[in-house]
Amino acid sequence: MATSGPPTSYQNVLRDKQIAALKRMLNLNQPTPRGSVAASEPVWKVLIYDKFGSDIISPLLSVRELRDLGVTLHLQVDAGREQISDAVAVYFLMPTAANVARICQDCRAQLYDKYYLNFVTAIPRPLLEEVAKASLEADCVPQIGKVYDQYLNFISLEDDFFVLRNQMLGEVSYYALNRPDASDEEIQRICDSIVECLFSVFVTSGTVPIIRCPRGNAAEMVAQALDKKLRDNVRDPRNSMFTGDSTAIAQLSFSRPLLVILDRNVDLATPLHHTWTYQALVHDMLNLDLNRVTLLTADDEPPPSPTSSPQQRTYDLLHSDRFWEQHRGSPFPAMADAVQAEVDRYKTSEEEMKSLKSAMGVDDDESEDSDLLTDKTSKLGSAIKSLPELMEKKKSIDMHTNIATALLEQIKERKLDVFFEMEDRMISKSSLDKTVLDMISDTAAGTPEDKMRLFIIYYILSPDIAEADVVQYTSALEAVGANTAPLTYLGHWKSLSKMKAPRPLGSYTASTTSVSSVVSTMSNWMNSGSKWMEGVKNLVVGTKNLPVTRIVDQLMEHRTTGQVTEDYCYFDPKQLRPTDSRPAPQSKTPFTEAFVFVVGGGNYIEYQNLQDYCSRQQTGRHVTYGTSQLMNARQFLDQLAELGTRD
């Protein structure tokens, strides 16, 4: 059964380190004592950010946490802002010309008493000189508290999952990297932006990784540039970002992490796979974005608050939500069973409280034993104290029930369990109960998009499929209204892959049967009757390693001989000279920590597969997954279609 991943007590959790860096920034770049927000009353301040800064902060710090850190207002830099002459302003922005111009405008207008300028990544010297010039002209140099390069140019979505950005995604997309008319300069700009992100990741982590990547694609360009940037920084003792406290703490692990940089083209099937785990389903079907999901509500449901729209309901899937943390990696039926168990526990607690209230308020017999009365009073007092926790639990249960219901509606309507099982059988090379052509022609199963996803996976995993068969499948897809433009691009991609790859790129390994039917235990789920899960298979996610996980396993275990990873580049930024021309040093000690970054887009399916892989290891192992763009199947299919129209 899938799990949510390794314990979060691992000492080098990237998310925790980014939170600590943000709290230090909001404490005016002074360290905060462990276990508390601040040693004394915080300095009250205004937080000014752009969309990039907002995207970094929002998954990590709630409005309440910002208030505890002294933030009384948080405003967009390009919004109209009034003068608050006695306020301290903390800026958190990308170092762009537009943002610097706005800072200069604020200085000239004397909007705030003190300015602490924090840039998401390093500010170029010409822009820094613009700030200096504006502060001189406005006679506010003493009011500029500090200017910091924070190197926080990435978004932590989980303890072990980060993305490059959530703005201007077209600039770093799979389409941008693979479109036929992309110039070398454009590709280089994309790679440079990815390098800035990865440099921030390792500055925050406080570690210098050993880098491995395949040859001859964008991943190698990123690896070479990152190797140079890290090496130049490590060799500059005056300006090195790897000499602080975080680096000293990270070095206590006695081993350096492995960084595996991969190109999306290593596996095009997985991003289109119909998934069956909770978090990946929410992302695929409900467009999970920065850990937030919005559902359309029924017309007869009241809005969650007077200020919210009656047409939609927004939920934040927070790190503090115990149920989410425990079950986001679980198969959908197992998650639903867990919700039922939570509902039962909540109802039991509610009934106990009602019984106590009844006993205290209804039974007025003066002969009541005083010890019994005292005991009841004590229990009622304890129940009242637990009431806030109980209400919070009910809120969580209601949220996950509503999300599960929305998922189930789509699963039933589109028969997504059938698509998942069929694709899983393809991946594990098991026999199919129904042909792909029959599934495409079935008017009761799925949308045209679902059928296109199914066929693309079949097409990628069938290296010897005849051209006449492809024509037949294409005609069937067109007949059901599918956009077949992705197949034009994939035909060219497959031809190139055959020339370059020593073995099929879509190979998978499995240690057990990938899918099995088990007896459903969900007949009474949420008291909605025995028909609730009727028609939905209770499928179990098997312990197969997807291509990205298989590559990571080979590199962490140093088992590359005769494998696709044997010819991977090797970079060690701590060496005085570049090491990509040398063979990887022979080592018998496996890596215990790895970072995996996919250039061209990633997904929750690969992330969860890596976490499941770590949980199966006998020795402690930790893998952090990152990508240039987090995309669901629809977003990826749209990019393939756009590429197909250009071929």
For residue 107, give the CATH number of its domain: 3.40.50.2060
Distances 288 to 326, 437, 631 between C-alpha atoms, Å: 18, 31, 10
220 in a structural domain = yes
504 vs 73, which has greater pLDDT? Answer: 73
Tokens read off for 288: 């999970």
Burial 354-367 (b: 16+ CB within 10 A, else e): eebeebeeeeeeee
Residue 195 sits in the same domain as residue 233: yes
Q: Examine residue 293 and state whether it is found in any structural domain, yes or no.
A: no
Spatial separation of the C-alpha atoms in residues 153 and 143, rounded to whole Å: 26
Residue 459 included in any domain: yes
pLDDT band per the 50, 70, 90 thresholds, residue 239: confident
CA distances, 114 to each of 89, 100, 147, 524 (Å): 6, 16, 12, 60
Q: Is the pTM of this model over 0.75?
A: yes
Sheet with 569-571, strands from edge to edge, namely 155-158, 161-163, 622-627, 593-599, 258-263, 210-213, 569-571
What would the two tokens of residue 105 be?
Answer: 């405008």
Q: Please say whether the beta carbons of 288 and 316 come within 8 A.
A: no
Range 245-263 average pLDDT: 70
Return the pLDDT at 9.
43
Final residue before a domain boundary, out of 513, 543, 573: 543
User: DSSP alpha helices (H): ranges in 91-244?
Assistant: 97-108, 125-137, 174-178, 184-205, 218-234
**Mean of pLDDT over the chain:** 84
- Is residue 45 located within the same domain as residue 112? yes
Q: Where among 543, 566, 590 does a domain terminate?
A: 543
Is position 278 within any domain? Answer: no
Q: Tell me the C-alpha distance between 448 and 451, whole Å.
A: 5
Rounded (10°) CA dihedral 486, 492, 498, 500: -110
pLDDT in tens, 115-130: 999 999 999 999 999 9
The model's pLDDT over 420-465, given as tens digits with 9 standing for 90+, comes to: 999 998 888 888 888 999 999 999 999 999 999 999 999 999 888 8
Does a structural domain hold residue 303?
no
| Long-range own/partner contacts, residues 139-144 (CB < 8 A, 24 or more apart) | 140/107, 140/110, 140/115, 143/107, 143/112, 143/113, 143/114, 143/115, 144/107, 144/115, 144/117
Amino acid at 179: R
Q: The domain that contains 612 carries what CATH number?
A: 3.40.50.1910
One domain, residues 23 and 125: yes
504/529 same-domain check = yes
The last residue of a domain, from among 507, 523, 543: 543
Q: How confident is the model at residue 343 (pLDDT cuts 50, 70, 90)?
A: confident
Q: In this structure, are 106 and 174 located in the same domain?
A: no
Same domain, 435 and 539: yes
pLDDT, residue 169, reads 87
pLDDT in tens, 391-427: 788 889 999 999 999 999 999 999 999 999 999 988 8
* 204 and 263 together in one domain: yes
Residues 174 and 126 placed together within one structural domain of the fold: no
Q: What is the mean pLDDT of residues 163-185?
A: 92
Element (H, E) at 551: helix 547-557
Give the other-Cβ count within 10 Å of 295's Cβ. Answer: 16
Helix (H) or strand (E) segment spanning residue 379: helix 370-385
* Mean pLDDT confidence for 272-299: 91
Q: Is residue 366 part of a domain?
A: no
Q: Is residue 263 part of a domain?
A: yes
Percent of the chain whose pLDDT exceeds 70: 79
pLDDT given at position 391 = 79
| 147: confidence class by pLDDT, cuts 50, 70, 90 | very high
What is the domain range of residue 148? 14-152
* 494, 614: one domain: no
Q: Calculate the alpha carbon distances from 535 to 340, 358, 368, 424 in Å.
A: 19, 43, 55, 19
Helices (H), 251-331: 278-286, 322-327
- Residues 539-560: pLDDT tens digits? 556 678 999 999 999 999 998 8
Pick the more confident residue, 32 or 621: 621
- Residue-wise over 169-191: b if at least 16 C-beta within 10 A, else e? beebbbbbbbbeeeeeeebeebb
Residue 400 covered by a domain = no
Residue 291: the pLDDT is: 96
Q: Quick one: 20 and 148 in the same domain?
A: yes
- 29 & 133 share domain: yes
Total domains in the fold of the chain: 3
The single residue listed with the structure tokens 């069929």 is: 422
- The predicted-structure confidence for 570-603, as pLDDT tens digits, reads as follows 999 998 777 665 567 777 789 999 999 999 999 9
Q: Quick check: 499 pLDDT over 80?
A: no
Task: Mark whether 147 and 200 lie in a shared domain.
Answer: no
